[in-house]
Amino acid sequence: MSGPRRSVDIMARVAVMQGPAATGSVEQNLAAIEAAARESAAAGARLLVTPEMSATGYNIGDLTGERAESLDGPIVRAIIELSQRYSLTVVAGLPEREQGRLYDIAVVVAPSGLVIARHRKVHLFAELDRDRFAPGDRLVTQFECADRTFGLAVCYDVEFPELVRAHADSGTDILVVPTGLMQPYTVVSRILVPARAYENQLFIVYANRCGSENGLEYCGDSVIVGPDGADLARAGAEEELLIADLDAAALADGRRRNTHLADRRPDLYPAKPFGRRD
């Protein structure tokens, strides 16, 4: 016999789009995002998180520059239109062009029709990123949704404890991470992301690609993790839409039980990494 049920104080119902599984045109990618938005709205979600470069494709070579645009370009306008149509806040990825530079960005569009946040990927992954993009220079990007503070990171960013800890110190409750995690790095989704959620007492919403793209095999394994490090929802290897309720009581309880942040000893931590010499 099961014990008594604890009532859930839903602070946000979120959706994660895993996919698309095949490289497509911008129009095909936007159609896939719209289909996910329609399903998310029907399920009562307030926020839809899509993968890294979801609107354009990620490993697309010279097409990256051809598809790059400013924040007032046609891709962002299309995301605004579907956000308004489904009364849903949408996180989408694309390459941004500004002053001759390209950035790997995630934008957040609200049903009001406004771009309420934009995060440029700070940590660039190998030549795959460094040959195309300039790094962002802002560690913490936040936005408000459902009366909660959300934070943004893009893919490789979440693999750096400094960035996630900076979010925790800045009051982020839910960190959303559009990503393009490829094989053989399943350890990131299965071990590192839950650890980041646990050690910083926040939710992490991790939206990955799946399938193949010009030689890259994406892991899938998109996941929504609670502040206790446990999965609330996890995808397999195929296209999928995850839905999960984020429980305000779980957040408060996690922060009460897990005192890592309060128990730190910053008086002993060096201003620069151990062993580093100027």
Per-residue tokens: 260: 């890592």
Query: What does the alpha-carbon distance between residue 160 and residue 238 come to, in Å, rounded to a whole number?
Result: 27
In this structure, are strands 174-178 and 223-225 parallel, antiparallel, or unpaired?
Answer: unpaired
Residues that are catalytic: 52, 121, 155
Neighbouring-strand partners of residue 65: none
Contacts of 158 (CB under 8 A, 6+ apart): 164, 175, 177, 179, 188, 192, 193, 196, 204, 206
Exposure letters 25-41 (e unless 16+ CB within 10 A, then b): ebeebbebbbebbebbb
